[in-house]
Amino acid sequence: MTTQDALFEYLLRLGDNTLILGHRVSEWCGHAPVLEEDIALANTALDLIGQTQMWLGLAGEVEGKGRSADDLAMLRDVWDFRNVLLVEQPNGDFGQTILRQFLFDAFHFDLLTGLTKASDDRVASIAAKAVKEVTYHLDRSSETVIGLGDGTEESHTRMQAALDRLWPYVGELFAADEVDAAMQDAGIAPDLSELSSSYHTRMSAVLAEATLVAPEGGFAHSGGKTGFRHSEHLGHLLTQMQWLQRAYPGAQW
């Protein structure tokens, strides 16, 4: 694998994470429990879609086959997506959505912070822009996880159930493969094992404050970021997200 190929693959991972999570969060628009959360979730979704445009735009440029960010987002099929399994998981209840957001935000924040020092200026400048948005996402999601975890009996029960369900998707975030190794060698990506220790320190602090307990055991699902095997949920998401471009190719707003 050339560095160029690895960079393309790596940019797809970054862009697909934000695209799929952004779409998932946008599904709440008009359905959130209170107006304030509805707007906040929509803002988060829009931030993530904006970041997607930058990552996939750069991916298309690096690939050099003339594919735009829109082409990559709307005209690839399930097996071509490189997002982690965590972000394609269904919204569930509000607590599950917020917990998924927190688990991803904490990783996203450290990753982007590392990427601001990338040897590739294009990557560093996108990361610098995105990390400002993600700082707020993380601030908001961790505070909400604490509020709901250490809230009423019902909110606590729901948050603990969400954590039990989603925790097995955390391991994939830090599972390094040859793409990660190539990017780290090229001075672009940060070391995932360092990220993992900072992540788990943050998790312990926030989860303790939220009176939530992460499940024992290190089982981790995998197959999302490599594209080897996505969960059944991604295909359903794509049919909704892509149907317009599939039914009316090239349609413009």
Partner 1 sequence: MSKEWPLWEVFVRSQHGLNHRHVGSLHAPDAEMALKNARDVYTRRNEGLSIWVVEARHITASSPSDKGPLYEPSESKVYRHPTFFDIPDEAGHM
Chain residues binding partner 1 by CB under 8 A are: 34-36, 39-40, 43, 136, 139-140, 143-144, 147
Nearer to partner 1, 42 or 78 (CB): 42
Task: Tell me 186's DSSP state.
Answer: T
Nearer to partner 1, 40 or 241 (CB): 40
Nearer to partner 1, 36 or 216 (CB): 36
CB of 36 to partner 1, least distance (A): 4
Q: Is residue 95 packed enough to be buried (19+ CB in 10 Å), middle (13-18) or exposed (0-12)? A: buried
Q: What's the angle, vertex CA 8, arms to CA 72 and CA 48, rounded to 5?
A: 55
Nearer to partner 1, 118 or 146 (CB): 146
CB of 23 to partner 1, least distance (A): 19
Question: Cβ distance 28 to 97 under 8 Å?
Answer: yes
Q: At what angle do helices 121-149 and 94-115 cross, to 10 degrees?
A: 150
CB of 103 to partner 1, least distance (A): 19
CB of 73 to partner 1, least distance (A): 24
Give the span between the Cα atoms of 53 and 72, in whole angstroms.
10
Give the span between the Cα atoms of 118 and 186, in whole angstroms.
9
Nearer to partner 1, 45 or 237 (CB): 45
Question: Cβ distance 227 to 82 under 8 Å?
Answer: yes
CB of 241 to partner 1, least distance (A): 23
